[in-house]
Amino acid sequence: MNYILFDDDARASLLPFTFTRPVAEIRIGILTIREKWEKYLDKKTSTLTEDYLSKKFPLKIGLQNTFINASFLPTVNLLESIENLGEDSALFKDEVLIAYKASEPMLSKQWEGLNKKYYKDSLLRIVNTWDIFSKNGIALQEDYDLLTKGRKSAPISGTNHLINAENIFLEEGAKVEYSILNATHGPIYLGKDSEILEGNLIRGGFALCEKAVVKMGAKIYGPTTVGPYGKVCGEINNSVIFGYSSKGHDGYLGNAVLGEWCNIGADSNNSNLKNNYAQVKLWSYPQERFVQTGLQFCGLMMGDHSKTAINTMFNTGTVIGVNSNIYVPGFPRNFIPSFSWGGASGFTTYLPKKAFEAAKVMMARRGVEFDEVEADILTHVFELTKKYRNF
């Protein structure tokens, strides 16, 4: 059986993160959604997504294919229900398609001809950008259980003070010294060759993925995830930072999501609570207006390759697109389009040529090439988001 993870309507609500990746590549908990499914399936998957993303994330069709909605996170029972589907059947949660088996992708109208089966148990589904941090604690615990079952942690140095040590797991090569790790309210997971430097205060749930680093003197409140090769410091609360991004200095980041290749300048801060304690509204790409999140705490959503200068400030519920550079003092507006350059006093267009020059240098520092495929994706995003740049 060949397995394909497909994007559904949730993709639009997960922008700006899905401008540069299919839904399956979103990281929540410890693993990406694709990595979760591949662990459960014990097989590789491919992706059915937007055409402009398909060169980087190609679709592979087999003789027998199972198509799975990537916005749903796997469980043992869900996998069993999917495996038991017949060729002319589809599995739904309420009226949302979870999975079907077919020789080729189907359009939504074709689903109506299938034998509908309904999944009754509760499931974790990622539909909105704020789900990534607000549901991170549940996903982190599930990933921790999956990855550590039947395994023993690498040794933890005696220089540390551990609370609920049985809920702390280090992969091979992970290091932590002279820090306080409190796993009372959630697990603490250190990925392969990751490192927590001296003098850190960390409350779980917390995941530090492969080769990521916590610099000295950080205060981290869970549930928080730092993706592979990430680098963090300062105060962080309930945030998800995708791979290769840095918040390497003092400053506050709370109830936030950062894409890949982001950089937060020293002493930059985001607000995560309105002064009147009202629920937070956030920019919605599909509705092209601000919508209610239903959350009292909601901070910063930042797309790939975006960056801030030192002492940058963000209001509660700010959305920043892809490849934006914010550096002017003061609070910029709550929605900053992709390829924006400036800040509170106004913006100009950050032209792709200049943006790509910066990306090449940043990625080369981590030994990753900024290639033509990446440039084509970002160029397409530049064109897609023109209508938002009314500078």
Q: Which residues contact 249 (CB under 8 A, 6 or more apart)?
A: 233, 234, 264, 265, 266, 267, 268
The pLDDT, as a whole number, for residue 154 is: 97
**Residues 194, 156: one domain?**
yes
| Exposed/middle/buried for residue 143 (C-beta within 10 Å: 0-12, 13-18, 19+) | buried
Tally DSSP H helices, then E strands, for the chain: 8, 34
Task: Report if residue 359 sits inside a domain.
Answer: no
Tally the domains of the chain: 2
- What pLDDT, on the 0 to 100 scale, is given for residue 151? 97
Does the pTM of the predicted model rise above 0.85? Answer: yes
Whether 373 is covered by a domain: the verdict is: no
Q: CA 366 to CA 339: how far, in whole Å?
A: 23
Q: Are residues 291 and 220 in the same domain?
A: yes
Are 223 and 241 in contact, with CB atoms under 8 Å apart? Answer: no
Residue 251: inside a domain: yes
Domain boundary pick from 118, 144, 163: 118
User: Which tokens sit at 86?
Assistant: 């017949």
Round to whole Å and give the CA distance between 2 and 370. Answer: 30
Which of 76, 96, 118 delimits the end of a domain?
A: 118
**244 lies in some domain:** yes
| Same domain, residue pair 190 and 336 | yes
Q: Say what the pLDDT of residue 330 is.
A: 85
148: domain CATH number? 2.160.10.10
49 within domain boundaries: yes
What the block records as the tokens of 123 is: 């499931």
Q: Clarify whether residues 279 and 257 are in a common domain.
A: yes
84 and 161 part of one domain = no
Asked if 204 and 302 sit in the same domain, the reply is yes
Q: What are the residue ranges of helices labelled H in 42-94?
A: 76-83
Residue at 367 is within a domain? no
Specify the pLDDT at position 62.
93
Question: Where are the alpha helices (H) located in the chain, listed in sequence order?
Answer: 10-13, 33-41, 76-83, 108-111, 131-134, 136-148, 352-365, 372-384
> Residue 30 is part of a domain; what is its CATH number?
3.90.550
In order along its 391 residues, the chain shows pLDDT tens digits of 999 999 999 999 999 999 999 999 999 999 999 999 999 999 999 999 999 999 999 999 999 999 999 999 999 999 999 999 988 789 999 989 999 998 888 877 677 778 899 999 999 999 999 999 999 999 999 999 999 999 999 999 999 999 999 999 999 999 999 999 999 999 999 999 999 999 999 999 999 999 999 999 999 999 999 999 999 999 999 999 999 999 999 999 999 999 999 999 999 999 999 999 999 999 999 999 999 999 999 999 999 999 999 999 999 999 999 999 999 888 999 999 999 999 988 999 999 999 999 999 999 999 999 999 999 999 999 999 999 999 8
233 & 86 share domain: no
Q: Would you say residue 98 lies in a domain?
A: yes
> So what's the pLDDT on residue 86?
87
Contact 56, 47 (CB under 8 A): no
Residue 107 and residue 246 share a domain: no
Whether 74 and 192 map to the same domain: the answer is: no
Domain boundary among 71, 97, 118: 118
Q: Are residues 175 and 244 in the same domain?
A: yes
Domain that holds residue 25: 2-118
pLDDT at 112: 74
Q: What is the DSSP string of 125-164?
A: B--STTHHHHTHHHHHHHHHHHHHTT--PPP--TTSEEES
Confidence (pLDDT) at 303:
98
Q: What distances in angstroms separate CA 75 from CA 3, 134, 142, 309, one per listed residue? A: 16, 19, 9, 41
Check residue 99 and give its pLDDT. Answer: 96
146 plus 108 within the same structural domain: no
Question: How far apart (Å, rounded) are the C-alpha atoms in residues 166 and 158?
Answer: 15
Looking at the domain assignment, is residue 247 inside a domain?
A: yes
Are 93 and 137 members of one domain?
no
Q: What is the pLDDT of residue 113?
A: 77
CB atoms inside a 10 Å sphere around CB 276 = 5
